[in-house]
Amino acid sequence: MHSDPAEVHKSVRSYLIVFGALLVCTLLTVAANRLQFAVPLAITIALIIATVKGSMVAGVFMHLSHEKQAIYGALLLTLVFFIVLLFVPILTVMDRVRL
């Protein structure tokens, strides 16, 4: 194995920090839900927190913060198609309105 132990120990520290942050964010999501905001605001808050949590998992646990170009390229393409996919329902709703 060719790994610098100091580097690995540094990574372990960041994993534990992210673990703590993920737990706090989970509790924040539940707490925000208890406040019973209006539905659009509640959705926005919950999705913002989920996106922050998802970014931490992808960036730190999946090492996306320092990955190779090939992976970024593949993920960028996926993101484009993912956004198109999410907009399909909106197009169908607009279609219904026009009818």
Partner 1 sequence: MNIPYTVEARPDTGLHNGKLGVWLFLASEVMLFGALFSTYILLRVGAPEWPHGELSVALGTVNTIILISSSVTMVMAWATLKLNQWSRHRVYLSLTFLLALVFLINKYFEYKEHLEAGQGPWHDTFFAIYFTLTGLHGLHILGGMIVMAYLLGPGAKLWRKNPDQFTNRIEITGLYWHFVDLVWIFLFPVLYLL
Instruction: Give contact residues for partner 1 (rule: CB under 8 A).
Output: 1, 3, 5, 8, 11-12, 15-16, 19, 22-23, 26, 29-30, 33, 39, 42-43, 46-47, 49-50, 53-54, 57-58, 61-62, 68-71, 74-75, 77-78, 81-82, 85-86, 88-90, 92-93
**C-alpha separations of 83 from 60, 63, 79, 86 in Å:** 23, 23, 6, 5
Hey, how many other C-beta atoms are within 10 angstroms of the C-beta on 31? Answer: 9
Q: Which is nearer to partner 1, 61 or 65 (CB)?
A: 61
Q: Which is nearer to partner 1, 39 or 99 (CB)?
A: 39
The Cα diameter of the chain in Å comes to: 65
